[in-house]
């Protein structure tokens, strides 16, 4: 029997969705050619025409949640260090728990301001073997000399927060996951870390 790829299945489901949706339901908020109702089927973001950040429109992208790593793997050492968490997040300002999300704490050790920061991260689902990869330039972020800042990926839209894909396997799978996170700044070599998320969905704050 001929094997059918996941991409073929997704394309079929998308085509079916397009034909099944009435005209009023075919809203396409991000203008990528994929109706909002179909984006969760593909695991893409209805608010971002290029969900994985690889420069290709979601409709045209054969792997819309699997970007290549565009970060240069060279540069000066010791520009910064960082830690990360993907669960049990806490807001020190309000002293309250917040919904699980990818959060980085970045310490500038370069002796100068850090600019043009870029983030690349992968999520691997331990139960299904499925993986996703996202490339995200952190536009507008400058980390001053000696400063430590928090970088958050979520849907809040707050300063220092960058949009994540709400339909990623981070949000939709209950399995344990492995995150591989690479961060780079202009002129400095990237730093990479790995961390695990325990089994269970991403918790929402009360």
Q: Is the pLDDT of residue 102 over 50?
A: yes
The pLDDT of 158-181, averaged and rounded, is 95
pLDDT value of position 159: 82
Q: Is the pLDDT of residue 4 over 70?
A: no
Q: 80-197: what fold?
A: Immunoglobulin-like (2.60.40)
Residues of the chain with CATH 2.60.40: 80-197
Tens-digit pLDDT profile for residues 49-96: 999 999 999 999 999 999 999 999 999 999 999 999 999 888 877 788
- Whether the CA torsion 144, 147, 148, 149 is positive or negative: it is negative
pLDDT value of position 56: 97
Between the alpha carbon of residue 180 and those of residues 61, 99, 120, 130, 175, the distances in Å are 23, 20, 8, 14, 16
Tens-digit pLDDT profile for residues 27-44: 999 999 999 999 999 999
State pTM to two decimals: 0.86
């Amino acid at each position: 029997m001929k094997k059918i790829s996941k991409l073929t299945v997704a394309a079929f489901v998308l085509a079916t969705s397009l034909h099944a949706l009435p005209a009023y339901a075919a809203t396409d908020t991000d203008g990528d050619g994929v109706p909002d109702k179909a984006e969760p089927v593909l695991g893409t973001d209805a608010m971002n025409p290029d969900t994985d950040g690889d420069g290709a429109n979601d409709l045209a992208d054969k792997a819309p949640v699997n970007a290549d790593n565009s970060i240069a793997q060279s540069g000066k050492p010791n520009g910064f260090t960082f830690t990360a968490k993907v669960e049990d997040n806490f807001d020190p300002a309000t002293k309250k728990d917040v919904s699980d999300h990818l959060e980085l704490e970045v310490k500038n050790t370069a002796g100068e301001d850090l600019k043009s920061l870029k983030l690349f991260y992968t999520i691997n689902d331990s139960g299904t073997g499925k993986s996703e990869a996202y490339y995200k330039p952190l536009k507008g972020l400058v980390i001053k000399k000696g400063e430590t800042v928090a970088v958050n990926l979520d849907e809040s839209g707050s300063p220092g927060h960058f949009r994540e894909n709400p339909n990623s396997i981070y949000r939709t799978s209950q399995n344990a996951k492995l995150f591989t996170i690479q961060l780079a700044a202009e002129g400095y070599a990237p730093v990479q870390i790995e961390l695990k998320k325990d089994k269970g969905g991403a918790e929402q704050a009360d």
